[in-house]
Amino acid sequence: MIIKVGFDYEEDLEYIKCPAKVGRKINQLQWEFWEWLFDRNNDHGYWFKYEEDGRVNYGVSYRTDAFIYWLNNIKFKKGKNVARLIETPKTPPKKAIRF
């Protein structure tokens, strides 16, 4: 199944290819991903520090590759990748999500 991933600008699109069983749950998986991504107990490479008013704060910077990493290595970690980024889909996307 092809999933269209949108960002802030309409032209800024990426596409994920995944099995239908993953694609059917893509909205629920996106919420689970966000819970993992913003949990400060998770040491992943998407954190960045910034200082504001003398205090250190944390934020995240990510794109679709972070979601794919989470799907393949955290959520479905049985050794087989369930999702991959593709350049241009050969068939129309069945679903869409936004980050």
pTM: 0.89
Taking only the tens of pLDDT, the chain with its 99 residues reads 999 999 987 788 999 999 999 999 999 999 999 999 999 999 999 999 999 999 999 999 999 999 999 999 999 987 789 999 999 899 999 999 999
Q: Which two tokens stand for residue 40?
A: 């400060």
Domain coordinates in residue numbering, the chain = 2-98
Amino acid at site 51: E
Are the C-beta atoms of residues 89 and 5 closer than 8 Å to each other?
no
